[in-house]
Structure formats: C-alpha cells, structure tokens
Amino acid sequence: MSAYDPKRTFIQATYSIIPRENGDQLAEKLKELALGVKTERVEKVTVEPEWFLSL
C-alpha cells in the first residue's frame, strides 16, 4: 500500500472533469482557486509615428 499523495489524488479526481471543460474554463477555474497559476497584468504601449510626424 502506497502513502497518501494529495497531488496525485487531486489529479486523479479532476482528470475526468477536464475533458468536459474547454481550456478557457479550466484556466479560469485554476485562476479562481489559485491552483498552480500566477496572474500578471502587462501594459502594452504602442508608439504612433504619424502623431510625431505631424508635429
């Protein structure tokens, strides 16, 4: 008899759920429960050369 492994138990318990959810739903649930994911906000700045050329 092997020792209890919570990670393995979690994976086995959720394995049958994953095929029924699409990737976006799975990612949202992992994010909601903070399970193995990290959320980052990234700001994107785009230079508009036309504006500078009009000076």
Q: What is the pLDDT of residue 21?
A: 57
Whole-model pTM over 0.85: no
Task: Give exposure, 9-43, as e/b (b: 16+ Cβ within 10 Å).
Answer: eeeeeeeeeeeeeeeeeeeeeeeeeeeeeeeeeee
Condensed to tens digits (0 to 9), the pLDDT of residues 1-55 reads 568 888 888 777 776 666 655 777 888 888 888 888 888 999 999 999 999 999 8
Q: What is the pLDDT of residue 8?
A: 82
